[in-house]
Amino acid sequence: MMLSIPDVLTAEQVAFCRQVMDAAEWIDGNATSGTQSALAKQNMQLPEDSPAARQLGSLVLDALEQSPLFISAALPLKVFPPLFNRYGPGQTFGTHVDNAIRAMRDADFRIRTDLSCTLFLAGPDEYDGGELIVEDTYGEHSAKLPAGHMVLYPSTSLHRVTPVTRGTRVASFFWLQSMVRDDGKRTLLFQLDSNIQQLAAERGHRDPVVVQLTGIYHNMLRRWADS
């Protein structure tokens, strides 16, 4: 499942991120690449242990905790600290798949990458090209969202960023390990939860059908969740 999540960050938060990023030092984006990705990747990145990356990463993580749509869709167990990249004219990221396991340097923290996230920090009018293209069994899907919006997609997917031809594409990117490993099961839970919320808005949370469906949701989650 590929899902767009609007308004993860406010306009004020995006402006703050851009201010911090504009004043920070950048390095070659291959600092965090695997062998395959390094052959396809041409961009710049904030050092993952830099004060700027840590400050902005905390801001993003705090915002995600306030997003019911993100929680429902991702069912996050562990989130890798957000990273930040930029693409200028001529820079791109060819087709690749994300590493199955991500580990923090000099820390006892690693995750299985179930879901990948791109949080856009530049508006579509600020650059040409730079679309995120995600491939699945139903074809290719393109994402180029407003600043502050995020796209969530399975880390098993082949994906790429098309060449930027004008301006600068700025984004945060990171991965998470979900409580539910299987994307199909996670999608079913998300669809069920979405329908329960819609029904509850129409009938109220005490409606017997809403209560029964909520019980089914939690029993399915209990059966499928890792802890």
Here the CATH number for the domain that contains residue 187 is 4.10.860
For the chain, give the percent of residues with pLDDT over 70.
96
Q: Rounded CA gap, 174 and 164, in Å? A: 21
Checking if the pLDDT of 34 tops 80, the result is no
Q: Is the pTM here over 0.85, yes or no? A: yes
Q: Does the annotation list 206 as a binding residue?
A: no
Sign of the CA dihedral with 187 first, then 190, 194, and 199 last: positive
Say how many CA atoms lie within 13 Å of 88 toward its Cβ: 5
DSSP letter at 108? S
C-beta neighbour count of 209 within 10 angstroms: 11
Q: What token pair was written down for 131?
A: 């679309």
Q: Examine the domain organization and report whether 55 and 104 are in the same domain.
A: yes
Q: Examine the domain organization and report whether 128 and 201 are in the same domain.
A: no
Q: Examine the domain organization and report whether 192 and 104 are in the same domain.
A: no
Q: Examine the domain organization and report whether 136 and 197 are in the same domain.
A: no
Name the band, by pLDDT with cuts 50, 70 and 90, for residue 32. low
For the chain, give the percent of residues with pLDDT over 90.
89
Q: Examine the domain organization and report whether 97 and 27 are in the same domain.
A: yes
Checking if the pLDDT of 105 tops 90, the result is no
Domain that holds residue 194: 183-224
Q: Examine the domain organization and report whether 174 and 197 are in the same domain.
A: no
- Tell me what the pLDDT averaged over the chain comes to: 95
Averaged pLDDT for residues 75-80: 97
Q: Does the annotation list 96 as a binding residue?
A: yes
Give tens-digit pLDDT for 126-163.
999 999 999 988 899 999 999 999 999 999 999 999 99
Checking if the pLDDT of 197 tops 90, the result is yes
Q: Examine the domain organization and report whether 89 and 173 are in the same domain.
A: yes
Continuous segment of H or E residues that includes residue 210: helix 208-224
Q: Examine the domain organization and report whether 142 and 188 are in the same domain.
A: no
Here the CATH number for the domain that contains residue 75 is 2.60.120.620
Q: Examine the domain organization and report whether 101 and 21 are in the same domain.
A: yes
Predicted pLDDT at 14:
98
Q: Examine the domain organization and report whether 90 and 167 are in the same domain.
A: yes
Predicted pLDDT at 36:
59
Q: Examine the domain organization and report whether 110 and 196 are in the same domain.
A: no
Q: Does the annotation list 28 as a binding residue?
A: no
Averaged pLDDT for residues 51-64: 98
State the total domains in the chain.
Answer: 2
Name the band, by pLDDT with cuts 50, 70 and 90, for residue 48. very high
Q: Examine the domain organization and report whether 98 and 210 are in the same domain.
A: no
DSSP letter at 40? H
Q: What token pair was written down for 185?
A: 């099961």
